[in-house]
Amino acid sequence: MRGCADIDGVAAYMIARAGRFLALYCALCGTLSCALPGRAAAQELCPPASAMPVPRLPHSRLALATNQPILIVALGSSSTRGWMATDIGHSYPSWLQRVLNEDLPKAAIAVINRGIGGQDAPEELARLYQDVLVLRPQLVIWQAGANGAIRDASPAAFKILMQEGIGELKAAGVDVILMDNQRAPKILSAPQHAQMDLALRDVTAATGVNLFSRGALMDQWAATGATLDDFIAPDGLHMNNRGYYCLAQSLGRAIAASLGQPLAAQTAGAK
């Protein structure tokens, strides 16, 4: 059986359409807990941090307003897949599924994990149609830049590839959230890490899509006295279970806040 966050995309979409996704998701998870820790426990696990910017998600909000399912695809590399977590059920997309189920219990939302270790913008753009667009999602969360930074990739070339992919997503009527790099020793020691994060910010400004900054979030955690070891696995690159969980908590709250806004606020002036 596949991991519960790796359910076939089309099947998950149809399950969500039928309004039975959560029940089947929990059944398929088997030994994995489908319940989040209580809010008090979450506050103990995750350092206090200011709310992240609320993304603009007009297509997702419209789906919610018209009682349609919302399919979210998490595209990225090993950080999305959940390397160094106990299992894929402890990846950030799996936690995100549970956060959104709890915060929006009446919505039919499916989160599909399309992370592949070792990849970055070139490989992810090459599989954008077969792994993402064919599923017809309302929202794509695209994590990119970590492997490029480690491999000393060109920030200028990275920007071109990301803009091309975002153009394809927007043309298909998909909301987009970009996710930058985590504060991990192997990334922080890479010569291009700051330039890659800056390139991603430039892309969001040029294309008008959303940015969820893991770096800014982890900087807030550090300001409370937390250390990298609290959230980064022993390999010095990936998040651990706690890191993925707290990332999903913050991201999920931002998405839920967006979907709770009036439809007019989301669609006004939409490109």
* pLDDT > 70? residue 42: no
The total number of residues shown for the chain amounts to: 271
Q: Which domain holds residue 132?
A: 4-26+64-262
Instruction: Say if 45 falls within a structural domain.
Output: no
CB 59 within 8 A of CB 81: no
Higher pLDDT, 18 or 149: 149
Instruction: Say if 132 falls within a structural domain.
Output: yes
Element (H, E) at 177: strand 175-179
Counting the structural domains of the chain, the total is 1
Instruction: Say if 268 falls within a structural domain.
Output: no
Collect all residues with Cβ–Cβ distance below 8 Å to 16 and sequence separation of at least 6: 69, 70, 71, 108, 109, 110
The model's pLDDT over 113-170, given as tens digits with 9 standing for 90+, comes to 999 999 999 999 999 999 999 999 999 999 999 999 999 999 999 999 999 999 999 9
Instruction: Work out whether the CA dihedral 77, 83, 88, 90 comes out positive or negative.
Output: negative
Mean pLDDT of the chain: 87
The model's pLDDT over 76-108, given as tens digits with 9 standing for 90+, comes to 999 999 999 999 999 999 999 999 999 999 999
4-8, 56-60, 266-270 — which is least confidently predicted? 4-8
Q: What is the pLDDT of residue 241?
A: 96
Instruction: Say if 38 falls within a structural domain.
Output: no
Q: Which of 139, 149, 166 is nearest to 258 (CA)?
A: 139
CB 42 within 8 A of CB 249: yes
Q: What is the pLDDT of residue 6?
A: 46
Mark out the alpha helices in the chain (DSSP H runs).
9-17, 21-29, 39-45, 58-65, 78-81, 92-103, 121-126, 128-131, 146-150, 155-171, 185-188, 193-207, 214-223, 241-259, 263-267
Collect all residues with Cβ–Cβ distance below 8 Å to 35 and sequence separation of at least 6: 98
Instruction: Say if 34 falls within a structural domain.
Output: no
CA distances from 51 to 61, 217, 231, 245, 254 (A): 20, 9, 19, 16, 7
Residue 149, domain CATH: 3.40.50.1110
CA distances from 44 to 48, 65, 86, 226 (A): 9, 34, 20, 12
Instruction: Say if 71 falls within a structural domain.
Output: yes
One-letter amino acid for residue 168 of the chain: E
Collect all residues with Cβ–Cβ distance below 8 Å to 105 and sequence separation of at least 6: none
Terminal-to-terminal C-alpha distance of the chain:
41
Instruction: Say if 74 falls within a structural domain.
Output: yes
Instruction: Say if 142 falls within a structural domain.
Output: yes
Question: For 185-204, what is the mean pLDDT?
Answer: 96
**Model confidence, pTM:** 0.86
